[in-house]
Amino acid sequence: MGSGEKSLRLLIEKWLELTHVSPARVTRFSRMPSGARYVCVGALRPSGPLAIFFFRHDDGSWCVFPPEAGWPATKAQA
């Protein structure tokens, strides 16, 4: 990973605002049909359960959006 990119742990802490009272758990992990890896992390919040998917990109970074190759595509017909 480059110096500007964050680890999965740091992103989870950022997005879920974890504390020792509200830990996060990996609830699912696998690969998409394109081969891209993903992890679903869940936590209980005062407002209810929250789950966020994180996607691994080709450069080794983790993001909350899938790699471009994994996005659904539509074709315009002439």
pLDDT at 31: 93
Quote the CA–CA distance of 41 and 63 in Å, as a whole number: 13
Query: Which pTM was predicted?
Result: 0.73
Residue with tokens 């790699």: 67
Whole-angstrom distance, CA of residue 18 vs CA of residue 69 = 31
DSSP at 2: -
pLDDT tens, per residue, the chain with 78 residues = 444 457 898 888 888 887 777 788 999 999 988 888 999 999 888 888 999 999 999 888 899 988 876 555 566 665
The string of DSSP codes covering 18-78 is: --SSS-EEEEEEEE-TTS-EEEEEEEEETTEEEEEEEEE-TTS-EESS--GGGS-------
